[in-house]
Amino acid sequence: MKSPARKHFEQVTAAKAAGAATPGEQQQGEQYELHAAALWEARRTLKGIKSVQNKIEKKRELLPDYLPYINGVLAEGNGAKDDVLMTLMIWCIDIGDFEKALEIGAYAMKNDLDTPDQYDRDTVSILAEEIAEGVKAQLEKEGADADALANVMARTVAIVGDHDMHDQIKAKLHKSYGYALRAAEDHEEALEQLKQALSLNERIGVKQDIQQLERQLKNAGGKANA
């Protein structure tokens, strides 16, 4: 467990190095090197864990140690190449910390940062697809906060929506957004999102959802006019 003083030192020194870095060039500095080494060891540990759920829990346990570095880079960074930051963005998605993932994602999209070589998709595709799938999984859990998840999807669409990606991924994005809005009882906007998903991929599996929402809205309109 790091002391508050240690966390403050790491954040300040990471911010200073990130602010002095050249955009597009490799991030340098003591904090980057230390966290890169720690991340290498963490990946070795994770490779030895077979259970996906146990891997997620291990990431949840380890991630707080990296938060001072993340916050320092986000506060002062100029957009230097940073495999530590981008790996931790994906960890945040994996553990369901969508807010922090989107903070990093917005910084990454603004500065055109790539994901590390071990990932086979670009930043926009990972953000769109992994958050869409993560939110959809959260919605299926009892007691899910539909309003918060709808806000997550709104932010995700705002960050990645105008960028080029495969239609199938963009369809997943709109599908999850539609499901979140439906759970939050915003049926009109949910219907619009599901129609966008269908227009991008007719096999996305939302036709019955669209029909059901159309019936609900028609019935609600009929009651309002009665």
Residue 225 is predicted with a pLDDT of: 38
**How far is 102 from 18, CA to CA, in rounded Å?**
19
Residue 66: pLDDT above 90? yes
Lowest mean pLDDT, pick from 113-122, 157-166, 188-197, 215-224 = 215-224
With tokens 């932010």, the residue in question is 155
Residue 224 is predicted with a pLDDT of: 40
Residue 91: pLDDT above 60? yes
Residue 96 is predicted with a pLDDT of: 93
**How far is 25 from 5, CA to CA, in rounded Å?**
30
> Which position has the higher pLDDT, 74 or 162?
74
The model carries a pTM of 0.90
pLDDT tier, 116 (very low <50, low <70, confident <90, very high otherwise) = confident
Which helix (H) or strand (E) segment holds residue 49: the answer is none
Residue 152 is predicted with a pLDDT of: 97
- Single out the residue of 69, 92, 94, 95 nearest to residue 82, CA to CA: 69
E strands present in the chain: none
pLDDT tier, 120 (very low <50, low <70, confident <90, very high otherwise) = confident
**How far is 2 from 6, CA to CA, in rounded Å?**
6
pLDDT tier, 1 (very low <50, low <70, confident <90, very high otherwise) = confident
Residue 38 is predicted with a pLDDT of: 95
CB 43 within 8 A of CB 98: no
Over the stretch 133-161, which tens digit does the pLDDT of each residue have? Answer: 999 999 999 999 999 999 999 999 999 97
Over the stretch 165-196, which tens digit does the pLDDT of each residue have? Answer: 999 999 999 999 999 999 999 999 999 999 99
- Single out the residue of 43, 70, 69 nearest to residue 58, CA to CA: 43
Residue 117 is predicted with a pLDDT of: 72
**How far is 20 from 31, CA to CA, in rounded Å?**
13
The predicted model gives 84-96 an average pLDDT of 94
Which residue ranges form the domains of the chain, and what is each CATH number?
Answer: 1-113 (no CATH), 122-226 (1.25.40)
Percent of all residues in the chain with a pLDDT value above 70, rounded to a whole number: 98
Residue 102 is predicted with a pLDDT of: 96
Residue 162 is predicted with a pLDDT of: 82
Over the stretch 9-39, which tens digit does the pLDDT of each residue have? Answer: 999 999 999 999 999 999 999 999 999 999 9
